[in-house]
Chains A and B, each alone.
Chain A
């Protein structure tokens, strides 16, 4: 099948862009670790699956909240439920590195801090992990961005960075 010379150039250009582009995102993801939350993205602290009906007795969700694990480094264990988060406020020291460990005790929820890149899902049965460094002080809104029922638009929590 004959393909016009200009069309070959055009498609070649497209393929080249594609390659460069996959290379950039690929290096960012696999070499620099800049990637969305995934089951195996934080191998060392992977909590696997949980039974959503037994969170009260399953570590770490039996004690939700902020826990210091290092020098200005914290774990934030949170449970999303219809229609809120437990706990509904956490205070984080300025500049702290926080590992979010989040699940849901009922339906699917979202976890978004507008103005930052923190944006992921909380699902029953699964544990989502994401690390973020809070290098700006202030009060941050966390909102649910996945429809979860009638009270969805009221579902939020607060993070105070001071």
Chain B
């Protein structure tokens, strides 16, 4: 941007640190491109526009799309972004941090490569949720385990760096960005224990044939113990951008460091003991435990409202500091032409309807209307594929130049604004029609079908055609984004600011309690035990084994 930041040169980003960040970010965008191709084809198949050439199955594409988008694109981008911010706010990455970061990267990349090969070979067409007793090749599960273990090492790197900073800065409050990175990675460690147990204890021994049967209900429960905090793992880094980066980009201040930390801790505590809200429509779990977890799920209202409050307070105060008056005058002075602001802002805006949809899904009885319909797919294309993805895109425009010591040019900034609009318009059509046709009953994860010319099901096709049109627009958005990434790598050398906001003057001090990790981890563990112990013990005691099947 031609803001003051790019004219006044600052300290260059250290090359070793920059390379680690860049490797993760580029890997993420490669996954976005491949996943985008699959997404386009899916949307066109469902709309009846094309039939796939023999040899490629719809569900094979869908597996690739889910894995590449939901697991790979997100995880790589997040790790790259967090390492960048941790390096920026705590000083150069230590040799141990770098070693952990690169080892994590290598393990995850091996896992991704092996997993992708087995999906392409049609040996793992089990979708990204890999529900038993569909049985994929054992190497697919091994690949997933590699990705998870790799991401653990990446998390340890961040913990190590943070601890070192605290030891060398006794009594000081840690930088907000690093604190938030630690919460994000801590959430990830606790959440992935579920899926790791499922993969290591249940799926791998069973798929190798060492044991004959699997406890299906238990495997699904372990998966969703992980599956819900997974969505917060995507969201928290977007919140870091909204809380820490955006205030700087708009020339304002962080509204309250203390409240920002508190909302992260609440998100951490309330995101894990809630997986049953993905299992409301299934047998084997009693009503009481389902309802308890629904209540815990909805507690997320508190940190969400705090976040909304802080963000709009920052916007308004920034405007007032520039001397604007009137109730909504501050809206006019926001930097609408700066993609670093505009892309994440559209993400925030879309999070309002997206979050409302989430409340509907979690609303116990209401889930009967939407469960496993395209409404759900429409919902998470707003949350993760728009709110989170647009925020990540917005970050990439400054992160890539900042870590490669280049600068964001006005031309690329403009292309970024275009990209944002294309994405929003494409998603309006795709997600809008998914929501609508889902309410009419159209199932998700289903190839083109009219159920033998059933009148009701045939009536869904026009909506799926609109969905395909939206998908095509989105795919143009993916291509433009990939071009933008390429062009950022060619951008002129220089300095691009890594925007890190500062707190308002006179804000309240942050309680020390917020960095007593034992306390927060303890609360989280207690809630998890309360929500899960009894139902899980019952599942283990009464569980019935199922043999495996390859139904594709």
A residues near B, CB below 8 A? 1-4, 6-7, 10-11, 14-15, 17-18, 21-22, 25-26, 28-30, 34-41, 48-53, 82-83, 106-108, 110, 112, 114-115, 117-121, 123-129, 141, 143-154, 156
Produce 1/0 per residue, B441-464, CB < 8 A to A: 111111111011010110000000
User: Are A1 and B508 touching (Cβ within 8 A)?
Assistant: yes
Given A1-B508, A141-B457, are A120 and B365 also a contact pair (CB < 8 Å)?
no
- Report if B515 contacts A (CB, 8 A): no
User: Which one of A15, A28, A35 contacts B301 once the chains associate, using CB atoms below 8 Å?
Assistant: A15
Given A22-B295, A40-B287, are A119 and B365 also a contact pair (CB < 8 Å)?
no
- 14 A-B pairs within 8 Å (CB atoms) are namely A1-B510, A21-B298, A28-B364, A28-B365, A36-B365, A39-B284, A82-B549, A83-B551, A107-B133, A108-B220, A114-B440, A126-B216, A127-B283, A152-B446
- Cβ–Cβ < 8 Å partners of B309 in chain A: 6-7, 10-11
- Report if B282 contacts A (CB, 8 A): yes
Given A34-B365, A39-B284, A149-B551, are A26 and B291 also a contact pair (CB < 8 Å)?
yes
Q: How far is the CB of B338 from chain A (nearest CB, A)?
A: 28
Q: How far is the CB of B512 from chain A (nearest CB, A)?
A: 11
Q: What separation, in Å, do the CA atoms of A34 and B454 have in the docked complex?
A: 30
Q: How far is the CB of A95 from chain B (nearest CB, A)?
A: 21
Q: Which 8 A-B pairs have the closest CB atoms?
A: A114-B441, A149-B551, A125-B544, A145-B443, A153-B449, A145-B372, A126-B283, A38-B287
- Report if B491 contacts A (CB, 8 A): no
B residues near A, CB below 8 A? 57-59, 62, 127, 131, 133-134, 215-217, 220, 258-259, 262, 280-288, 290-291, 294-295, 298-299, 301-302, 305-306, 309, 313, 363-365, 367-369, 371-373, 440-449, 451-452, 454, 456-457, 508, 510-511, 542-547, 549, 551-552
User: Are B280 and A126 touching (Cβ within 8 A)?
Assistant: no
- Which chain A residue lies CB-closest to B129? A147
User: Are B57 and A29 touching (Cβ within 8 A)?
Assistant: no
Q: How far is the CB of A124 from chain B (nearest CB, A)?
A: 4
Q: What separation, in Å, do the CA atoms of A49 and B539 have in the docked complex?
A: 11
Q: What separation, in Å, do the CA atoms of A124 and B280 have in the docked complex?
A: 17
User: Which one of B280, B551, B552 contacts A106 once the chains associate, using CB atoms below 8 Å?
Assistant: B551
Q: What separation, in Å, do the CA atoms of A144 and B11 have in the docked complex?
A: 59
User: Which one of A7, A38, A82, A112 contacts B443 once the chains associate, using CB atoms below 8 Å?
Assistant: A112
User: Are B372 and A10 touching (Cβ within 8 A)?
Assistant: no
User: Are B282 and A126 touching (Cβ within 8 A)?
Assistant: yes
Q: How far is the CB of A41 from chain B (nearest CB, A)?
A: 5
User: Are A41 and B287 touching (Cβ within 8 A)?
Assistant: yes
User: Which one of A14, A30, A35, A37 contacts B282 once the chains associate, using CB atoms below 8 Å?
Assistant: A37
Q: What separation, in Å, do the CA atoms of A107 and B451 have in the docked complex?
A: 21
Residue with the greatest number of chain A CB neighbours at <10 A, chosen from B283, B313, B443, B551: B283
User: Are B365 and A3 touching (Cβ within 8 A)?
Assistant: no
- Which chain B residue lies CB-closest to A25? B364
User: Are B365 and A108 touching (Cβ within 8 A)?
Assistant: no
User: Are B281 and A121 touching (Cβ within 8 A)?
Assistant: yes
User: Which one of B444, B542, B547 contacts A49 once the chains associate, using CB atoms below 8 Å?
Assistant: B542
- Which chain A residue lies CB-closest to B514? A1
User: Are A119 and B372 touching (Cβ within 8 A)?
Assistant: yes
Q: How far is the CB of A153 from chain B (nearest CB, A)?
A: 4
User: Are A36 and B441 touching (Cβ within 8 A)?
Assistant: no
Q: What separation, in Å, do the CA atoms of A118 and B367 have in the docked complex?
A: 11
Q: What separation, in Å, do the CA atoms of A36 and B367 have in the docked complex?
A: 8
Q: What separation, in Å, do the CA atoms of A52 and B548 have in the docked complex?
A: 11
Residue with the greatest number of chain A CB neighbours at <10 A, chosen from B262, B364, B543: B364
- Which chain A residue lies CB-closest to B134? A107
User: Are B364 and A29 touching (Cβ within 8 A)?
Assistant: yes
Given A106-B551, A148-B551, are A37 and B283 also a contact pair (CB < 8 Å)?
yes
- Cβ–Cβ < 8 Å partners of A107 in chain B: 131, 133-134, 549, 551
User: Are A53 and B287 touching (Cβ within 8 A)?
Assistant: no
Q: How far is the CB of B244 from chain A (nearest CB, A)?
A: 19
- Cβ–Cβ < 8 Å partners of A156 in chain B: 451-452, 454
- Cβ–Cβ < 8 Å partners of B452 in chain A: 156
User: Are B373 and A145 touching (Cβ within 8 A)?
Assistant: yes
- Cβ–Cβ < 8 Å partners of A41 in chain B: 286-287
User: Are B301 and A119 touching (Cβ within 8 A)?
Assistant: no
Q: What separation, in Å, do the CA atoms of A4 and B506 have in the docked complex?
A: 13
Q: How far is the CB of B361 from chain A (nearest CB, A)?
A: 12
Given A10-B305, A114-B456, A124-B546, are A1 and B511 also a contact pair (CB < 8 Å)?
yes
Q: How far is the CB of B457 from chain A (nearest CB, A)?
A: 7
Q: What separation, in Å, do the CA atoms of A112 and B443 have in the docked complex?
A: 9
- Besides A36-B364, A115-B441, A152-B447, 11 other CB < 8 A contacts? A7-B309, A11-B305, A14-B305, A18-B299, A38-B283, A114-B442, A120-B371, A121-B282, A128-B283, A145-B372, A151-B551
Q: How far is the CB of A68 from chain B (nearest CB, A)?
A: 24
- Which chain B residue lies CB-closest to A113? B441
- Cβ–Cβ < 8 Å partners of B290 in chain A: 36, 38
- Cβ–Cβ < 8 Å partners of B510 in chain A: 1
User: Are A53 and B372 touching (Cβ within 8 A)?
Assistant: no
- Cβ–Cβ < 8 Å partners of A26 in chain B: 291
User: Which one of B364, B440, B442, B508 contacts A2 once the chains associate, using CB atoms below 8 Å?
Assistant: B508
Q: What separation, in Å, do the CA atoms of A83 and B552 have in the docked complex?
A: 11
User: Which one of B284, B368, B443, B549 contacts A110 once the chains associate, using CB atoms below 8 Å?
Assistant: B443
Q: What separation, in Å, do the CA atoms of A135 and B545 have in the docked complex?
A: 39
Residue with the greatest number of chain A CB neighbours at <10 A, chosen from B301, B365, B447: B365
Q: How far is the CB of B128 from chain A (nearest CB, A)?
A: 11
- Cβ–Cβ < 8 Å partners of A28 in chain B: 364-365
Q: How far is the CB of B51 from chain A (nearest CB, A)?
A: 13
- Which chain A residue lies CB-closest to B127? A147
User: Are B285 and A39 touching (Cβ within 8 A)?
Assistant: yes
Q: What separation, in Å, do the CA atoms of A9 and B127 have in the docked complex?
A: 44
User: Which one of B217, B299, B445 contacts A147 once the chains associate, using CB atoms below 8 Å?
Assistant: B445
Q: What separation, in Å, do the CA atoms of A14 and B373 have in the docked complex?
A: 29
User: Are A11 and B306 touching (Cβ within 8 A)?
Assistant: yes
- Cβ–Cβ < 8 Å partners of B215 in chain A: 125
Q: What separation, in Å, do the CA atoms of A153 and B552 have in the docked complex?
A: 12
- Cβ–Cβ < 8 Å partners of A51 in chain B: 544
